Each structure stands twice: as C-alpha cells, then as structure tokens.
Copies of this chain bind each other. A is one copy, B any other.
Amino acid sequence: MSANSILLDFSLDPARIIDEVSRKDIVRVCKEGLEKYLAGLKISYDMLTTDGYLCILSETGTGTIVTIRFFEQGLITINVEYYRKDGDEAKISFEQIRELENNLVQKLKFNHGQSLPPLQRGPLTRYFPTADERVIEYDIDRVLFDKRSEFQKIQIVHSRSLGNMLVLDELQNIAEADLIYTETLMCRGKEDYAGKEICILGGGDGALLYELLKEGPKMVVMLEIDEIVMQACNKYMNTICGDVLEKRTDDNYEIIVGDCMVYLRKYIKEGRKFDYVFGDLTDIPISDTPTGEIWDFIRTILESSFQVLKPDGKFMTHGNGVSCPESLRMYEDQLAKLTPKVTYTKSSAFVPSFMEEWVFYQVQREVANATESV
C-alpha cells in the first residue's frame, strides 16, 4: 500500500540543440514508449520553465501521472507515479523500466540512460541514508515498536535480511546481523577484558555489554539515559543483548539509567577508575547536560573519560563511515587537541545494517618518551 515513483533520466550530447520541434518529437516517442505499459496517455498540461520545459501526462481512467521534464543543460527526466494497493501487480516492472530506458536511449539517440527500481512511498519507512547521505532501501516489512521517549523517536523494525533493527530518530542504529559492529568496537581477540573494570557510556541496545560479559570482566557499569530504548531492545533484540537488559544487574555488571555526564562527574569526584571506557552514544549526542555544540560535547566526553581511566586505560568508540573522510578527520582533530595528550589506533569493519565500512577508534594516553622520562 504505497505510491510508486518510477524515475528515469536521460543525458543528451551537450551540443545537441532541442528546439520546439525536436522537443515535441521526443515527448511523442516517450509517450509511445510509455503506452506499451500504460493505457492511453494524454497531455494534461505543459509549461516552459526557467531552464527548460515540463509536461504532465495522465493515463486514461486511472490516477497514473507522468511528468516529463527537459533541462537546458542536456537532461530529460521522466517520473511515473501511481498508487499501488497491496497485492496489485506493478504497472511497470523494473525489467520493463530498464527495457523502456534502453529503447528510448536507442530511438532518441541519448548519450546515457538511468532508471531506478520503483520507489515506494507510504507508511513504512524503507529508505535510510549512509554516512555520506546516499540512499539505501532496506527490505523492511514491518514495524515492531514505535514510540517517542523524552529523548528521541525509537523504532524497532524488521528487515528480511538483517533481522530486527533499532532505528533512533530515523537513523539505523544496530541490527541483529551486526555482531561484527560490537566485535570491532571492542577489538575482540586483541583486547583482554578478563578481570577488568569497564564503563560503557550509552550502549542502550545492550549488545556491547552482552559481548563484554563473555570475556570475564571484573565489573561493567553501563550508563544509559533512555529507559525506553532498553525496554524495546530487551523485547525485540534478544539475539544481540541476551538477558542483560532484562536483569539489569548481576555480580559483574550494573546498568544505571541516567545521564552519563552526571555519572562521569561523580566518578571523577570519587576517584573511581576504569581500565576501559566505551563511547557507545548515538552520533548526535543526547544529554540533559548542556555542552554547546557537537564537537564540544564529544571533547567533553573524551576529557571526562580520561579522568576516570587508569594511566594505561583505553577509550574505545565508533567513528564514522569510510565514506566520510572529513568527519573522521574532524574527530582526529579533536583527539589531537585533547588534554592529556593521546595516541590512537583504528579498527574497521563492514557493518551490515550501515551498508558500509565503519571506523572505530581506540584512544590511549601518550606515553612520555624516553628523553622526557629520564
């Protein structure tokens, strides 16, 4: 139950002149091509635009509307849009769209054609962006949980290929298929967590806590602000979080519902120290504590974390997609400005639900060099 938008576009030789006669001819051929799949089309309206021409065609007896647009820069776009009820066959399959594209390229001597699978517009969000804002269509077939907490919009949706997926403020967060995310964040196999004291900032989906507990730590404290996220994940994301969100506490871990900044300050005051601090917060930070703009917040988190880390302790966090080298560089710039001076290593992995390679950071105090320590 959604409107389908079928988008095609055609690039022309920039030297090619499209006068009124050739434009009419192109519209006629496009119309004929479309009429192979649609009942008779008639032109309902057309207009000259500042940079070209636009015409609207309507299919006889249905709500199908075709928009053909000419851009003087040598581009023609065609949009076909109609309402498709559940169970109704597509008016034009993707195979037919490609066939139409190829036919028009040949008949009208276009340089290049492009067509997209029909886009589905309706009550189920299927499109999410990559870090660099490319569109990815997910095979989401139902919404399991949908609630707005005081902090964010929380959804658990089901993807046929990724399993259940947590979506926060309309951004994909973690899916059942994403064990690699947690393993790369924690550098499984490279770090030794046995007997260690660990603090997780955020981590409301429970996956990091669940995986860390398998490594025999002494104590893990998790500071998550959003109770509703934990309830949702406990109900629908058990494959990644086990029963840690259900139990909330045990001999070797404790989940505290609250603002991580408040607790970090408390630990600093008490002199409490950890071997590892994990920054597992959302990309766009949520905190009741005002901290200015995003990079200030990130630096504040880092500096506070180093105040609760033992001298050889590590701060572990997710960075960004490899498709966003600028964001990664900006994060590294923040690390360079930090007090105390730090060094860092990176790990990365292709995260299924992000549909891209993701970079993670491991940050440590810089060891004073030999000359200085003499």
Interface positions of A (Cβ within 8 A of B): 1-3, 5, 7, 9, 11, 44-45, 47, 49-52, 54, 56, 58, 61-63, 65, 67, 69, 71, 73, 75, 77, 79, 81, 83, 85, 94, 98, 111-112, 114, 116-117, 119, 121-123, 125-127, 129-130, 132-139, 160-161, 170, 321-323, 350, 352, 355-357
Contacts and interface: CB of A to CB of B under 8 A. Distances in A.
B121 A135 contact: no
A238 B45 CA distance: 53
B111 A5 contact: no
B44 A65 contact: no
Nearest to A138: B134
Contacts of A136: 135-137, 355
28 contacts: A1-B73, A3-B9, A3-B75, A3-B77, A5-B7, A7-B119, A9-B122, A11-B122, A11-B123, A45-B56, A47-B56, A49-B58, A73-B83, A75-B83, A98-B170, A114-B126, A114-B127, A116-B135, A117-B129, A117-B134, A117-B135, A130-B139, A134-B138, A134-B139, A135-B137, A136-B355, A161-B321, A350-B352
A4 B9 CA distance: 11
Contact of A65 (B61, B69, B125, B160): B69
B323 A161 contact: yes
A302 to B, nearest CB: 24
Most chain B Cβ neighbours within 10 Å, of A49, A56, A98? A49
Given A73-B85, A135-B137, 9 more contacts: A3-B77, A5-B7, A5-B79, A49-B65, A50-B61, A54-B56, A114-B122, A126-B134, A139-B323
A83 B51 contact: yes
A83 B58 CA distance: 24
Most chain B Cβ neighbours within 10 Å, of A2, A65, A79, A121? A121
A65 B71 contact: no
Contact of A77 (B9, B58, B81): B81
A74 B65 CA distance: 17
Given A7-B119, A9-B121, A69 B81 contact: yes
